[in-house]
Structure 1
Amino acid sequence: MKPIAKKPSPRRFHQARWDEPVIFELSQTGQRGVLLPPVEAEIEKQVGNPAQKLPEALRRKKPPALPEMSQNQVLRHYVRVSQETLGVDLNIDIGQGTCTMKYNPKINDQLASTPKLTELHPLQDEVTVQGILEIIYRLEGMLKEISGMDRVSLQPGAGSAAIYTNICMIRAYHASRGDAQQRDEVITTIFSHPSNAAAAKVAGYKVITLYPDPDGYPDLEALKAAVSDRTAALLITNPEDTGIFNPHIQEFVDVVHQAGGLCFYDQANANGILGITRAREAGFDACHFNLHKTFSTPHGCGGPGAGASCVTDALAPFLPVPTVEFDGQKYSLNYNRPQSIGKVRPFYGVTPNILRAYAWIMSLGADGLREVSEVAVLNNNYLLKKVLEIRGVSAPYAKGKHRIEQVRYSWEKLTAETGIHSEEMAVRIADFGMHFWTSHHPFVVPEPMTLEPTEAYSKADLDEYVAVLRQMAEEAYTNPEIIKTAPHNSTVHHTHHDPFDDPDEWAVTWRAYLRKTGQTKRE
């Protein structure tokens, strides 16, 4: 007997909802999680009081105000908090568009937690850490092959840090040629990652932003009008955050090179082009990867990520120190690089994620990496077809054409016909244990929804996700109140956005909150 075919439908979901205070509010004077044994008299006699050996300026006037709690209270608190979150290990997380949320193999987590790595100290003599230096060196070699670049640094602690590292090297390159003062402009595009414009601005550049032509491609004529002898670099993502690949990218590079500028390829979302295209063949001088996206290492709620800065020989002298070198016998750290931009983070990079990325690439091999991209593109275009069948959804630009690894959809038609906005839909979907991301501001695509399925999700996963979107769209047309009053099954709630625009109301730590609310005095 054949099993009865069953259409995918949203599964029942109700998230735990705890009235859980901030951990500082749970503190009880005198509670302890660990009781340290007293120092033995003989040891104290030999060593004395270590605190007294610290310079006066480094000594606390009083102990830190840490929460005082027993072990089981700490355990309960963090388990409860964990039950109020969504994530890639809990749900179908294809809605975190542009962030390439994929499965992180647990065996790689075990590798990264081995004492052989965790008990290393970054200040050990390099002869005692040959193993991890070899991993760094070998991973750099793999990324050179994947990108076509000549040198790689794994020192940046995240993708944005890698972008900033590259723009600093570009600035150093122009300084070495004596035209850094003149070349004070950087060109980017509105659908490139916002980190491109942000990193250039932090580095002191004026930023020129190009907007798309009617097909959604960056406007080549606008680029030609923007380029001048003041152009330091082009910073561009391709495919952009719409999933549209720019087929004219070589022309963009040529235009900037003819004006004496350099070109940086933002490959944070390289998930759809591994083994298919390389930055080198498009003529780029530099690129970067996010190991915590494309190469399947954890995002960790904004950290610890890991970035890779990749450059041609022309920019290699400016790489951050130290670089990892190999003479055929041993690995070493080279600080003797007079043109280096210096360090961009402590020590050598986020080594647990470097190890995870190395293991992921090694397990797949070259053919496997290409298959990752082929499946990611297949998943994305299957999802594109299914989502466009839902009432009220469109995919602006490049109509009728395939996309690469993601799509920025629009609920504009649904909003016009029901009054329900994309952000309200994003709150409602949490009632199904899922999530979707709107997009980077500004909302150039009206009422946006950005989805990126990656290679990690099955057809059944995609069908279930589409079923949830379809049900929500039906609700918007037939019972909009259920969306306006969401969430119903989740801990997500409506937020009051006005304070986001008022720095006087920001409180990034608990103690800052207490000071701003007048509950404690500034010390």
Structure 2
Amino acid sequence: MKTDVFASRHIGIREENIQHMLKEVEVENLEQLIVETIPEDIRLKEPLELDTPMSEHEFLGHIEALSKKNKVFKSYIGLGYHESLTPSVIKRNILENPGWYTAYTPYQAEIAQGRLEALLNFQTVVCDLTGMELANASLLDESTAAAEAMTMLFDVRSREQKKTGVLKFFVSEEILPQTLSLLKTRATPLNIELVNGNHEEFDFSNDFFGAILQYPGKYGQVHDYAEFTAKAKQNDIKVAVAADILSLALLKAPGEFGVDVVVGTTQRFGIPLGYGGPHAAFFATKEAYKRNIPGRIIGVTMDTDGKPALRMALQTREQHIKRDKATSNICTAQVLLAVMAGMYAVYHGPEGLKYIADKVHNKTKILSEALQNLSITQHNTAYFDTIKVSVENAQIVREAAEKAELNFNYIDDKTISISINEATSFKDIIAIVKVFKILKTKVINEDFYAEADKITAIPASIQRDSPFLQNEVFNSYHSETELMRYIKKLERKDLALNHSMISLGSCTMKLNAASEMLPLSMANWGNIHPFVPIEQAEGYQIMLKELAKNLTVITGFADTSLQPNSGAQGEYAGLMVIRAYHESRGEGDRNICIIPASAHGTNPASAVMAGMKVVVTKTDERGNIDVADLEEKVTLHSENLAALMVTYPSTHGVFESSIRHITKLIHDHGGQVYMDGANMNAQVGLTNPGMIGADVCHLNLHKTFAIPHGGGGPGVGPICVAEQLVPFLPGNPLVKTGGDQAITAISGAPWGSSLACLISYGYIKMLGENGLTDSTKIAILNANYIKERLEGKYDVLYTGEQGRAAHEMIIDCRPFKAHGIEVTDIAKRLMDYGFHAPTVSFPVAGTMMIEPTESESLDEIDRFCDAMIAIREEIDETQLENPNNVLKNAPHTMSMITSDSWEFPYSRQKAAFPLSYIEDNKFWPSVRRVDDAYGDRNLICTCAPIEAYAEVE
């Protein structure tokens, strides 16, 4: 074995296993399997032009050297991003811990109670600090959260407003510039008219359905919005506020002055700047909007024994149910970052958060006083952490600041804002004043620093006087020992990739290699503000450009934008680029988007958000696109055809042989082809979207390109485009990105979640062309091996023309209803065998979609197959009239197995240790099957007081 070849570590199948697997699959060699799986006319004829692969040691040396090209200045730019201190106990035990970062979205609640509790903590923090009734479990960033607030308020307009066509939305001139850009992006296809202005001059006319305010404002001024909100309410105008979460430890909670939505980012709660992300946004609103809130909510419910349990509530994958009626296309959250931010609040508690906020505010006051005493005008009359000053020549200040390795926000030639953060020391304040060449020690000294505690720059009317974070969890774990144990307690409740294979179809839960993850902890990558001068981020720029170039080569396209920070964002970005392309040609009336019935639910939701009308095309009996039906609908809508959205290989796990005919058909009628990149793990190195005739695709870097799912995020969803779409790639209002005719922003930061891109960069650099291609081949081999092993026990629903699966397959569990067994029962029983269930009931109800990836060993794949075969035998033993069986009672907890009483018609051994391998590595679900219906009827989305738990019991 070549120990310096990364591919041999990433790919789980050993060379000696392959012949055994090929024999099971009944092919002579791997090439024969690929020939029988992928249509000949779309197979690549030449290898990918990528660099020679690095060893892990070489890559770590390379990435450290590259990091040193970044200039890590002290950044006081603000604008929604602030240096924050990640507690080491959180960094080591969560960010760097595969028990946390390799977990999947908690769709199987019984084996996800740990991160569900961590997310409930996060929701409680948000509700307490904002003063709102309901919060979700995070969104992608502050700007996209603000856009979601606008669209939600648009959706909940009064009947009269909808009837009369009220379309105006007021945006305060205090809003962050990147947020304004994103609001424009989202507003345009929905025909929402944005009116940007001074909130103090707003006339509250009945032409408006909503408004958004910034608290504090973009340059630091804190306004009292109580009067504005009261007048808005009188005129049926709903109000959203984008708030700085740390400031809310000192400022009056927005909920207390009657707003409808509060959004923002939790980046200040211990999350690295990372050149823009990933960071967990928050979204809080009123109980009345619980059916309209975008994203995921974690709720409290009960399990079968009536004990408290947690699960995702109400909006869980709501786009898959509502499809084109969905109000949002959100799929990925920022769970790992939300967990960290929530744990930051647990560690510091209410007193600690207030102490940090006071320190930030006090240092800001010291700076303001020092500059004013030296004849520099400071304009903010009320502020938390940001001052705005006038100078004679901002360029002179800038040159001095950058020489001192400091960054400020240069508003114009004579105006500068300076934002103080948690990491700012007293010495840093002196360094800032030195830049202005006016340091006088009598102004800044220890005595003055002490006096700062006794004054405030926050008027009494907007000072916070309400308590927050009174729950026990925020007042119990303030030593490192205690927090370390609490984190471990939660981790033990969650099944992640460090325990066993997670064979989720469409989700590609592959290895997230340690060498790919280590750079995330390097300071030279973590502490770069997204709006620093471009020359200060040379390391980032080299990495991002190289990653974009590699993704462009892999997809066979002309260029790539890394800005979208989730797969669903990528879908939306791709469609908005197509929309801009049509408009540039004078064909803005092209608004029909054709989508197969089997598509991901985010596809139709994204199309509607992009202002398109969805036309669904049928699938045939083999699960492929019904070409005759497609031809009919394309011809019917030829004049207005905008796009086809297609997943390839299909959502059914099949390489459809008609794909090039399909893409040509769309082009012949003036449309563009959007390819959903969810299944790219079956394409890399063997075919690509350019080869099949697509015009744009998004890539899930958190699937195919090894960014970990992190319990439901971080995600990165870049778009790769053909030549004609390059000019329209998304831009940013503060840093030049995108094409010559760039659409407005898709996410807040210029390059989206830049820090996470390091992972995919490392993945490609260490695998190289051969490793990437071999990974794809082994993923296809593993899927077909499972298919053959399960033959006769489960029916595979769809296969290609030669009977092959792609990298995943769908097994049909509907026939087991004759035994009284549902697909959910199989999913829960798999927990007893130590496995997370494959994807359940998507894309076909009553089925499981299995994707093993290339990273699993043959032993692990066989264990999974043994478990599925054993469950099949258990199904045969069950009787329709007797629901008291091992599947219906699954999962079995330790408390059940160790109970003094046992009233089940099967043994404890059968319940907990049905196969011998389990005894060596048993995973215990922490709760029995959860009651979703009870939780939806009694929605609780924050930490309940201990009395409430006693009542449930």
The alpha-carbon deviation at position 179 of structure 1 amounts to: 2.5
2:485 alignment counterpart: 76
Residue 188 (1) aligns with residue 188 (2): no
Partners of 2:513 and 2:545 lie apart in 1 by 22
The match for 1:409 among 807, 811, 814 is: 811
The match for 1:350 among 750, 753, 769 is: 753
The match for 2:577 among 169, 188, 192 is: 169
- Is this contact kept in 2: 1:237–1:266, CA < 8 A? yes
1:116 alignment counterpart: 524
The alpha-carbon deviation at position 201 of structure 1 amounts to: 1.8
The alpha-carbon deviation at position 313 of structure 1 amounts to: 2.1
The match for 1:317 among 720, 723, 727 is: 727
- Is this contact kept in 2: 1:298–1:353, CA < 8 A? no
1:313/1:77 Cα in 2 relative to 1: closer, same or farther (>3 Å)? same
The alpha-carbon deviation at position 463 of structure 1 amounts to: 0.5
SS at match of 2:489: helix
The alpha-carbon deviation at position 284 of structure 1 amounts to: 1.4
Residue 129 (1) aligns with residue 537 (2): yes
Partners of 2:509 and 2:461 lie apart in 1 by 45
The alpha-carbon deviation at position 456 of structure 1 amounts to: 0.4
* TM-superposition CA deviations, 1:417-444 (whole Å, max 9, x none): x221111110111112211134455x63
Code of the aligned partner of 2:875? A
TM-score, normalised relative to structure 2 = 0.47
Residue 464 (1) aligns with residue 871 (2): no
The alpha-carbon deviation at position 283 of structure 1 amounts to: 1.8
- Is this contact kept in 1: 2:798–2:809, CA < 8 A? no
1:241/1:56 Cα in 2 relative to 1: closer, same or farther (>3 Å)? farther
TM-score, normalised relative to structure 1 = 0.83
1:423 alignment counterpart: 824
2:850 alignment counterpart: 451
Partners of 1:98 and 1:363 lie apart in 2 by 24
User: Counting helix residues as a fraction of each chain, which structure ranks higher?
Assistant: 2
Code of the aligned partner of 1:233? A
Partners of 1:217 and 1:451 lie apart in 2 by 18
Alignment map for 1:25-424 (pairs within 5 Å): 42-43=445-446, 45=448, 48=452, 52-53=456-457, 60=464, 62=466, 64-65=468-469, 67-69=474-476, 70-71=478-479, 72-94=481-503, 96-180=504-588, 182-227=589-634, 228=637, 229-322=639-732, 334-335=736-737, 339-347=741-749, 348-390=751-793, 392-396=794-798, 398=800, 401-416=803-818, 418-424=819-825
1:429/1:350 Cα in 2 relative to 1: closer, same or farther (>3 Å)? same
Code of the aligned partner of 1:453? P
1:437/1:282 Cα in 2 relative to 1: closer, same or farther (>3 Å)? same
SS at match of 2:780: helix
SS at match of 1:89: coil
The alpha-carbon deviation at position 58 of structure 1 amounts to: 8.1
The alpha-carbon deviation at position 77 of structure 1 amounts to: 2.5
The match for 2:892 among 468, 488, 494 is: 488
- Is this contact kept in 2: 1:238–1:267, CA < 8 A? yes
* TM-superposition CA deviations, 1:81-108 (whole Å, max 9, x none): 11111111221112x1110001100111
SS at match of 1:344: coil
- Is this contact kept in 1: 2:796–2:810, CA < 8 A? no
The alpha-carbon deviation at position 76 of structure 1 amounts to: 2.7
Task: Give the paired residue count.
Answer: 484
Partners of 1:434 and 1:61 lie apart in 2 by 48
Partners of 2:508 and 2:640 lie apart in 1 by 35
1:150/1:58 Cα in 2 relative to 1: closer, same or farther (>3 Å)? farther
The match for 2:942 among 499, 510, 513 is: 510
1:427/1:225 Cα in 2 relative to 1: closer, same or farther (>3 Å)? same
* TM-superposition CA deviations, 1:287-323 (whole Å, max 9, x none): 1111110011111122111111011121111111149
Instruction: Identify unmatched segments of 5+ residues in structure 2.
Output: 1-109, 126-344, 363-425, 427-443, 880-884, 894-924, 949-953
- Is this contact kept in 2: 1:184–1:232, CA < 8 A? yes
Partners of 2:942 and 2:858 lie apart in 1 by 44
Larger radius of gyration: 2
1:255/1:334 Cα in 2 relative to 1: closer, same or farther (>3 Å)? same
The alpha-carbon deviation at position 32 of structure 1 amounts to: 6.6
Partners of 1:436 and 1:383 lie apart in 2 by 15
Q: Tell me the C-alpha RMSD between the 2 structures.
A: 3.5
Code of the aligned partner of 1:204? G
Identity %: 28
SS at match of 1:192: coil
- Is this contact kept in 2: 1:89–1:103, CA < 8 A? no
The alpha-carbon deviation at position 60 of structure 1 amounts to: 4.5
SS at match of 2:886: helix
1:397/1:381 Cα in 2 relative to 1: closer, same or farther (>3 Å)? closer
Partners of 2:455 and 2:675 lie apart in 1 by 50
SS at match of 2:682: coil
The alpha-carbon deviation at position 451 of structure 1 amounts to: 0.5
* TM-superposition CA deviations, 1:432-486 (whole Å, max 9, x none): 2211134455x63x52011001100111111100111111111122256011111
Partners of 1:433 and 1:99 lie apart in 2 by 19
Partners of 1:51 and 1:89 lie apart in 2 by 51
1:335/1:212 Cα in 2 relative to 1: closer, same or farther (>3 Å)? closer
SS at match of 2:887: helix
Code of the aligned partner of 2:850? L
1:196/1:31 Cα in 2 relative to 1: closer, same or farther (>3 Å)? closer
Code of the aligned partner of 2:877? T
1:225/1:493 Cα in 2 relative to 1: closer, same or farther (>3 Å)? farther
